[in-house]
Structures are given as structure tokens and as C-alpha cells.
Copies of this chain bind each other. A is one copy, B any other.
Amino acid sequence: MTDADIIVLYDIPSKVGPWSPNTWKTRYSLNYKRLPFKTVWIEYPDIEPTLKAAGIISNTKPKPDGSPTWTVPAIWDPKTQTGLTESFFIAEYLDATYPDLPRLIPQGTRTLQKAWVQAFWGKLQADTQFVCPKTTWELNEPSDRYYREMILKWNGMSMEELYPKGEKRETEWKKLEMEFGEINKWFAEGSDGGPFVMGDQVSFADFALAGSILWFRVVFGKDSNEWRDITSWHDGRWGRLIAELEKYE
């Protein structure tokens, strides 16, 4: 295999490594399938020109005016001369293009996996106020500026205002634990109960959830109280999930 055969994964850099929960979905996906890839790091303002120049097609939900949205993860697969964005779309592409490798979306579960991503994401509301500020403080300057503006537009707050402090920090952290508790209730006890969403079988659903959890480890650090908390919640379910998936990091 030459370098020209290797899939390219486009990701956003930081001082502490890959952090984006969305690009993690694809990073996990490629590793799970044992597809060799190299990462091309792009700062936020360079995403659009870089992906356009690479001949990548945007599969991400278009802007309200109908023009394409340029996002990562994006991949370029030299084998098929195909470039695409959006982690679920990429997962489906990889399953279709490499049918002999382990499936990301087991037969018959496509609709459930799609709904899963929205379901757990919808439960998590208290997370962004912690992880977004921590992320921006670890971004390189061009992405930092871009990311701050994006969050300011969404929240009407600067990252420093968004980040909870003092008593509020405690109540919001408790809220996050309760939100994970709601997701935890979806898991059965016993054989169907894990470590993975589909019991013993790894699937895209795990990578989607794990991406959102891993984000905390990356920006707070492995030795932080935050990471110790999260990995201990709900009988260690989230810590166990990350540990089981470590080989696909």
C-alpha cells in the first residue's frame, strides 16, 4: 500500500489533540474497520477552501439559503476518488464501499442508529457550557477566534461568561450527571446492557456517544476531577465504554 491509497481524514487541531466529538465518530469508524488513514489538520477558517479544493462533496445539512455547509469530519478516499462530509454519511459510505470489513451500522438498524444520535444528543444540554469554553482555550489562534464567534452567536455569551463558576458550577455539573442518568436508563441490566449500545456488538451508536464523552477527557485531561466523575457515574458505564473502545482511538 502506498501513501496514495490511504484515506485522508480532515480534522481540527488543538494543543491537546483531536477533540471534536464529530470527527471522533469518523476516527473511531476508520480504526474499527482497520482502514489506514492519515489526518490532515485544518484550522476552522480553512475548512471551506480546503475541502472545496480537495473536491469533497458536502453531505452536511445546507444553510438556510441552500448553499452547502462545509464541516469536518470529511474524508477523501483515493481508492474510489470520493470525498464526503458528515460522520453518519461517511459511516454508510464505508459500510457500502468495504462490505467485507466489520459493519458500523448492522443490518436493519439504520433508522434506529440515526434516531439514537439525536436521542442522546437531545438529552445532553448541560455539557456544552463545560466543554466548549475548555476547548476554545486549547485551540490555536485562528480556530479560537472562529469558534468564539460561533458560540457567541449561538449563546449570546462569551466563552468566559458561559463557563459555570462557583455554586452554579456544582448545580450544572449535577444536572449533567442527571442527563447521563436518563441515557443510562435506556440500557438494560444484564446481557443486553452493555458495554455497548447493542450489548456485545460495537456499532456507530457507540462511536457517536463515545465522541461526546471523550471530548471531556481531551479538554479536561485524564487526571482531572471532571474525568474521574464522569467515568464513575452510573456504575462506571461511561468509563467502561471509553475503555472498551480505546483500541479504536
Q: What residue of chain B has the Cβ atom nearest to residue A200's Cβ?
A: B108
Q: What secondary structure prevails in chain A residues at the interface with B? A: helix
Alpha-carbon distance A193/B109, docked complex (angstroms): 10
Alpha-carbon distance A169/B201, docked complex (angstroms): 46
Inter-chain contact A198/B119, CB cutoff 8 Å: no
- B-facing residues in A86-121 (Cβ within 8 Å): 92, 106-116, 118-120
Inter-chain contact A187/B111, CB cutoff 8 Å: yes
List chain B residues, Cβ under 8 A from A230. none
Inter-chain contact A205/B108, CB cutoff 8 Å: no
Inter-chain contact A112/B192, CB cutoff 8 Å: no
List chain B residues, Cβ under 8 A from A107. 192, 199
Q: Is A197 an interface residue (CB 8 A)?
A: yes
Most B CB atoms within 10 A — which of A118, A120, A199?
A118
Q: What residue of chain B has the Cβ atom nearest to residue A201's Cβ?
A: B108
List chain B residues, Cβ under 8 A from A200. 108
Q: What residue of chain B has the Cβ atom nearest to residue A194's Cβ?
A: B111
Alpha-carbon distance A114/B187, docked complex (angstroms): 8
Q: What residue of chain B has the Cβ atom nearest to residue A113's Cβ?
A: B112
Min Cβ gap A132→B in Å is 23
Q: What residue of chain B has the Cβ atom nearest to residue A197's Cβ?
A: B111
Min Cβ gap A222→B in Å is 27
Alpha-carbon distance A109/B110, docked complex (angstroms): 12
Most B CB atoms within 10 A — which of A109, A111, A188, A205?
A111
Inter-chain contact A109/B111, CB cutoff 8 Å: no
Sorted nearest first, the 3 A-B pairs with minimum C-beta distance are A115-B119, A114-B186, A119-B119
21 A–B contacts from the bound complex (CB under 8 Å): A106-B108, A107-B192, A107-B199, A108-B192, A108-B199, A108-B201, A109-B109, A109-B198, A110-B188, A111-B198, A111-B199, A112-B112, A112-B115, A114-B185, A115-B119, A115-B120, A115-B186, A116-B116, A116-B119, A118-B123, A119-B122
